Amino acid sequence: MTNRVFNFGAGPAMLPEPVMQRAQDEFLDYRGIGASVIEISHRSREFMDIIEAADALLRELAAIPDNYRILHVHGGAQMQFSAIPMNLIARNPARKAVYAVSGNFANLAAKEAMRYGEIDTSCNSAESNFDHIPEFDARTVDTESSYVHITSNNTIYGTRWHAFPDTGEIPLVADMTSELLSRELNIGKFGVIFASLQKNLGPSGLALVIVREDLLGYALPETPGLLNYRTCADKQSLANTINTFAVYMMKLVLEWLRDEGGVKVIERRNAEKAAILYDVVDGSDFYLGTANAPDRSHMNVTFNLAENNLLEAFLREAEANGLYALKGHRSVGGARASIYNAMPVEGCRALADFMRQFERSHA
Amino acid sequence: MTNRVFNFGAGPAMLPEPVMQRAQDEFLDYRGIGASVIEISHRSREFMDIIEAADALLRELAAIPDNYRILHVHGGAQMQFSAIPMNLIARNPARKAVYAVSGNFANLAAKEAMRYGEIDTSCNSAESNFDHIPEFDARTVDTESSYVHITSNNTIYGTRWHAFPDTGEIPLVADMTSELLSRELNIGKFGVIFASLQKNLGPSGLALVIVREDLLGYALPETPGLLNYRTCADKQSLANTINTFAVYMMKLVLEWLRDEGGVKVIERRNAEKAAILYDVVDGSDFYLGTANAPDRSHMNVTFNLAENNLLEAFLREAEANGLYALKGHRSVGGARASIYNAMPVEGCRALADFMRQFERSHA
């Protein structure tokens, strides 16, 4: 094997080693056709088999009901910040929506939506630098709202919605970029779920959109053709040339996840991984968790060093120990360990050991 | 080496063998960092080096003047069918544009633009199934037009604009998806040039946009943030996570092109390759070229068999001889050999030999 590190980067993030190995092995010659998977038509039989297999696996692993469509849309989650209001805000002629602002990406999504309608951002935890999930009160939601938007996991701040709000008849839209397929979900509670691939699903440049069928058909007339969910659904996401490499890699990741035992198994493993790191943080005054404990993420573990001037040494020595990309986001500072599905338990153990050792030698 | 075929697919198309080999070699461990290039942050030093090197190479190889910006935008050329009018149509409050309709993609671009303004499509060769480039008369262009749009090479029909129209003060916008970096250009004659990567530049899922600086800043208010050229330029195309794999592959392709001698050399080679195939077509009554000879493309060579019922045997035997994906597009029929930069001269010779041999055994 190679000298691969434990990569704690927030995304584009590490992918499972067997997936990377497989992709490398067949990179020049996909299943004996004499060409790479990235060199063939998105309408070839070989590629159609890939996207159909990916969708079938996704439907099985995420338990997606029949009345939901799976779309693959260019541009990652952030393109969805535009696509969501363009496709949904006109459900009600009042053109209103509610955005729960639990972090930077939620905030960007809300700002983008303001181009297209009237956005309520009163559910907001900006005041405490998003160190917790804001309280959501369904009674305050304007009944004319076309949808309610949440960001299920906040990569930068290390928080997540442990339970999801009940929005009644108003569709709940969730950006699940850093969580999809890391925990079991009742998809039926959501109107739309979307996610970039580059955390738990594959490389960057594509988003997965899971949309309830009755929400198709409300796009604003100025919606770019490729962002129109109705068109994407009608054309099976192949209105134009898709990011074929990303779809291919996603299929390999989904096969890996199935072989690991599926979402229930990985969710338990993710909880175990997170606990290994939070235990170190909580068991010491040397490290300080930055997120409100009940809202803590299982994907991104954020913490500071009590002695902030030791941070640089911490990051440098971690890297020298094969623990890569632990620097926190500039808006929180400190350190962040992103431990998506592909991070093995051993990676978290290695980091926990390093943290204890670093504390012993610097406390 | 592997059993790689000569791949004549129209795109996603074959990439240069040394590029593919290099990408495979470093797929698991990019330059000793212990992670793949697809597993690192788009803001990491390693990736910033890649995108900066790609841009510098591109500027050098395509001779892009200083007053043009290079943008990388999600979604391939077709997303630009929306982005172009959203960014440019409001240059003049009349919101008009001219589209020269020389093929299916030009037609799709014009239709998409109609969401945003009044589109003149009178320059059009649809009547003869796009077998030639329509005559462009600059005197018929409404002086209030915000831009004139052409598709420089028509992949499906095998035609190209050998010379480009002079549109005076009105910016000329060119979809160069299947031609960029295959021929020398005077970039200064264009307002905007855009291209998907998956023909001459890399894998699918991203578009390259070369835009004259004074054309930035006219975006319609409803333009999605990630499609706004001003934002893309201000954020160096990194407003969100880009398709990092595509940028990386493009850099390798550009390095290969530089090492081959640059655009002047490849243009000569492309002319030679095309001539090898057109000579077979023209030297026989067995094969019939489908495109008007003076408008013939150097990227996509389209032809029929006089005996159309031999087509299936032709394609089947070609494939058995390692000549892959020669089937013509359904709207033209017949055969199509796409011979982008990465197709070696030997590939064209092998196809020409096969065509002569097939004629001998079936005429």
HEC string of chain B? CCCCCEECCCCCCCCCHHHHHHHHHCCCCHHHCCCCHHHCCCCCHHHHHHHHHHHHHHHHHCCCCCCEEEEEEECHHHHHHHHHHHHHHHHCCCCEEEECECCHHHHHHHHHHCCCCEEECCCECHHHCCCCCCCCCHHHCCCCEEEEEEECEECCCCEECCCCCCCCCCCEEEECCCCCCCCCCCHHHCCEEEEECCCCCCCCCEEEEEEEHHHCCCCCCCCCHHHCHHHHHHCCCCCCCCCHHHHHHHHHHHHHHHHHCCHHHHHHHHHHHHHHHHHHHHCCCCEEECCCHHHECCCEEEEEECCHHHHHHHHHHHHHCCEECCECCCCCCCEEEECCCCCCHHHHHHHHHHHHHHHHHHC
- Picking from B2, B74, B204, the nearest residue to A79 by CB comes out as B74
Q: Where are the domains of chain A?
A: 18-260, 262-362
Decide if B298 contacts B182 (C-beta within 8 A): yes
pLDDT digits (tens, 9 = 90+) for B306-326: 999 999 999 999 999 999 999
Output the six-digit token pair for B244. Answer: 């990092």
pLDDT digits (tens, 9 = 90+) for B197-230: 999 999 999 999 999 999 999 999 999 999 999 9
pLDDT digits (tens, 9 = 90+) for A312-329: 999 999 999 999 999 999
Closest residue on chain B to A25 (Cα): B24
pLDDT digits (tens, 9 = 90+) for A195-206: 999 999 999 999
Is B5's CB within 8 Å of A34's CB? Answer: yes
Nearest CA-CA distance, residue B139 and chain A, Å: 31
Of the residues B74, B227, B237, B343, the best mutation for testing chain A's interface (the one with the most A CB atoms within 10 Å of its CB) is B74
Mean pLDDT estimate for chain A: 97
> What is the C-alpha separation between B2 and B357, in angstroms, rounded?
26
Decide if A58 contacts A254 (C-beta within 8 A): yes
Is the model's pLDDT at B2 over the cut of 80?
no
pLDDT digits (tens, 9 = 90+) for B234-260: 999 999 999 999 999 999 999 999 999
pLDDT digits (tens, 9 = 90+) for B328-362: 999 999 999 999 999 999 999 999 999 999 999 99
Residue range A235-257: average pLDDT? 96
Residue B2 or A359, more confident = A359
Output the six-digit token pair for B65. Answer: 């003047």
Is the model's pLDDT at A1 over the cut of 90?
no
> What is the C-alpha separation between A282 and A289, in angstroms, rounded?
7
Residue A324: what pLDDT? 96
Residue B139: what pLDDT? 94
Is A241's CB within 8 Å of B12's CB? Answer: yes
Is the model's pLDDT at A10 over the cut of 70?
yes
Is the model's pLDDT at B14 over the cut of 60?
yes
* B positions 101-130 inside 8 Å of A (CB): 112, 115-116
Nearest CA-CA distance, residue B77 and chain A, Å: 9
How large is the angle between the packed helices A263-282 and A244-260, nearest 10 degrees?
Answer: 80
Same fold, A18-260 and A262-362: no
* B positions 207-266 inside 8 Å of A (CB): 220-222, 224-227, 239-246, 249
Of the residues A8, A51, A72, A74, the best mutation for testing chain B's interface (the one with the most B CB atoms within 10 Å of its CB) is A74
Decide if A156 contacts A162 (C-beta within 8 A): no
Nearest CA-CA distance, residue B78 and chain A, Å: 7
Give the domain A262-362 fold: Aspartate Aminotransferase, domain 1 (3.90.1150)
ipTM of this complex prediction, to 2 decimal places: 0.97
Taking the CA of residue B51 as centre, how many other CA atoms within 13 Å lie in the half-sphere pointing to its CB? 24
Decide if B287 contacts B278 (C-beta within 8 A): no
Is A244's CB within 8 Å of B205's CB? Answer: yes
Residue A314: what pLDDT? 98
Is B39's CB within 8 Å of A7's CB? Answer: yes
Residue range A186-193: average pLDDT? 98
> What is the C-alpha separation between B187 and B193, in angstroms, rounded?
8
Any B CB within 8 A of A51 CB: no
pLDDT digits (tens, 9 = 90+) for A103-154: 999 999 999 999 999 999 999 999 999 999 999 999 999 999 999 999 999 9
Nearest CA-CA distance, residue B285 and chain A, Å: 31
Residue A2: what pLDDT? 57
Closest residue on chain B to A19 (Cα): B28
Any A CB within 8 A of B9 CB: yes
Is the model's pLDDT at B1 over the cut of 70?
no
Nearest CA-CA distance, residue A204 and chain B, Å: 5
Could you give the C-alpha distances from B112 to A225, A258, A321, B32, B198, in angstroms and in order?
Answer: 7, 40, 53, 45, 21
Q: Which CATH class is domain B18-260?
A: alpha beta
Nearest CA-CA distance, residue A282 and chain B, Å: 29
Q: What percent of chain B has pLDDT over 70?
A: 99
Q: Which long-range contacts (CB under 8 A, 24 or more apart) does B18-26 make?
A: B18/B256, B19/B249, B19/B252, B19/B253, B19/B256, B19/B342, B20/A27, B20/A28, B20/A36, B21/A28, B22/B252, B23/A27, B23/B248, B23/B249, B23/B252, B24/A24, B24/A27, B24/A28
How buried is B301 (Cβ within 10 angstroms: 0-12 exposed, 13-18 middle, 19+ buried)?
buried
Task: Sort out which chain B residues have CB atoms less than 8 A from A224's CB and list them.
Answer: 79, 82-83, 86, 112, 224, 227
How buried is A187 (Cβ within 10 angstroms: 0-12 exposed, 13-18 middle, 19+ buried)?
middle
Decide if B73 contacts B206 (C-beta within 8 A): yes
